């Protein structure tokens, strides 16, 4: 059986890099060369650092800190607001390049993908040279840099891509695990959240190597059976999860994002769901489809994943309807005690026929929603996706908490 070969490609400081590329196209300066950051509105509670440049890091600025604090440490800090329409455009261009090289591409967020390169040795006899080619093609065509991890499974490829940045290729094959993986702090192992890391460190388990050599039953006693087995396997570089690439035509449409800042409130979650619903519904409408089933997936900052879905009596392609159902699903499964680091929406059970029952009294709210969606789609198609954005408010009654 041929040996697996997996690449993990991760954009370096995606939000900041993509804003820099746009500014350079306008003849403006490169944010990556100066202390700079992408941040929320400083006049609101969301004014926190979402991404930072390498020069900003020298001032002690870190992701998640309030913008006002960052400015006190670096008064010359250049800061720009997030632009999710821009990020979607850049992400599509990024993924399109990866599909030129790999037969199977799994996009896990706007700025990272897994590539299954197994069986491509006749086309690409040197995996490391191919990884450099991918990295350099992205930089030359799109103007931003990526890291590429090369390994025999998704876990090790992910860990490798997180080694020294930016604009680098790293390998982490099985024979390199003792040298490259085991000396790292245990909290750097994929799947080890802050709380789990603290538990392990209190027991004297400081490195990934120490975790790998520990009896699995002891790890299970500390963090639970399922997580203990998984972390022991990960520490030893074991992962058999496949690189998935499902046909949207056959299965459905989905979009997810790994968040730069943990989501802690319904108000914050609403903004993410709106962006996801807008994107995935627009793609589905372009495919001429409607969905009978809406699903929401979230992952907490402790790496626990939850999913809920709802079947509809009639199929929909209306953004507001998809958003409303998604928000109800989120409330059902999220207690808001644990922050979220990933959110996603999926649209499945597709139909390409207008299967809604014909009524003598059309639903005016639905018709208005469809007119708005058609107008938004038409404007974006003619002038670009960043020309118009949606605005909506959480119908919660609770406000921010």
DSSP label at 185?
B
* Residue 314, phi then psi, degrees to nearest 5: -130, 145
89, 386 Cβ separation under 8 angstroms: yes
- State the alpha helices, DSSP H only, in 184-235: 194-202, 208-213, 216-223, 225-235
Query: Based on the number of CB atoms within 10 Å of its own CB, is 194 exposed (0-12), middle (13-18) or buried (19 or more)?
Result: exposed
Given 106, 112, 268, 327, which residue is catalytic?
Answer: 112
Cis peptide before 18 (omega within 30 of 0): no
273 sits in which H/E element: helix 266-286
- Cα dist. 194→75, 142, 331 in Å? 31, 35, 25
CB atoms closer than 10 angstroms to residue 100: 9
60, 73 Cβ separation under 8 angstroms: yes
| Cα–Cα distance, 127 to 140 (Å, whole number) | 20
- Cα dist. 210→224, 227, 358 in Å? 18, 17, 65
272, 345 Cβ separation under 8 angstroms: no
Give every CB contact of residue 278 below 8 A, 6+ residues apart in sequence: 319, 323, 390
Select from 163, 166, 167, 152 the least CA-distant residue to 114.
Answer: 152
112 has catalytic annotation: yes
Q: Which residues are part of the catalytic machinery? A: 112
């Amino acid at each position: 059986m041929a040996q697996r070969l997996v690449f993990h490609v991760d954009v370096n400081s995606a939000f900041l890099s993509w804003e820099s590329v746009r500014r350079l196209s306008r003849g403006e300066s490169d944010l990556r060369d100066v202390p700079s950051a992408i941040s929320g509105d400083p006049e609101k509670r969301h004014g926190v650092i979402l991404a930072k440049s390498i020069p900003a890091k020298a001032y002690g600025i870190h992701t998640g800190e309030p913008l006002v604090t960052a400015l006190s440490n670096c008064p010359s800090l250049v800061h720009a607001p997030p632009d999710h329409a821009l990020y979607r455009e850049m992400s599509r261009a990024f993924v399109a390049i990866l599909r030129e090289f790999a037969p199977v591409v799994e996009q896990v967020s706007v700025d990272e993908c897994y590539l299954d390169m197994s069986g491509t040795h006749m086309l690409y006899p040197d995996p490391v040279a191919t990884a450099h080619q991918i990295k350099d093609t992205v930089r030359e065509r799109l103007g931003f840099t990526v890291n590429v991890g090369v390994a025999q499974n998704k876990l090790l490829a992910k860990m490798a891509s997180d080694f020294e940045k930016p604009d680098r290729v790293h390998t982490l094959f099985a024979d390199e695990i003792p040298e490259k993986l085991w000396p790292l702090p245990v909290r750097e192992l994929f799947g080890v959240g802050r709380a789990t890391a603290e538990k392990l460190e209190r027991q004297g388990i400081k490195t990934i190597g120490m975790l790998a050599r520990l009896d699995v039953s002891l790890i299970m006693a500390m963090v639970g059976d399922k997580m203990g087995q998984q972390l022991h396997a990960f520490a030893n570089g074991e992962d058999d999860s496949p690189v998935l690439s499902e046909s949207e035509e056959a299965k459905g449409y989905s979009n997810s994002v790994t968040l730069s800042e943990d989501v802690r409130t319904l108000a914050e979650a609403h903004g993410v769901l709106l962006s996801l619903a807008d994107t995935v519904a627009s793609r589905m409408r372009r495919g001429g489809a409607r969905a009978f089933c809406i699903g929401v997936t979230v992952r907490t900052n402790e790496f626990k994943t939850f999913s809920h879905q709802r079947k509809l009596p009639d199929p929909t392609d209306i953004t507001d309807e998809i958003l409303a159902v998604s928000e109800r699903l989120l409330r059902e499964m999220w207690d808001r005690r644990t922050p979220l680091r990933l959110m996603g929406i999926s649209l499945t059970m597709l139909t390409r026929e207008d299967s809604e029952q014909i009524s003598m009294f059309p639903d005016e709210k639905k018709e208005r929603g469809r007119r708005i969606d058609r107008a938004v789609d038409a404007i974006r198609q003619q002038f670009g996706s960043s020309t118009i954005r949606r605005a909506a408010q959480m119908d919660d009654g609770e406000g921010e908490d």
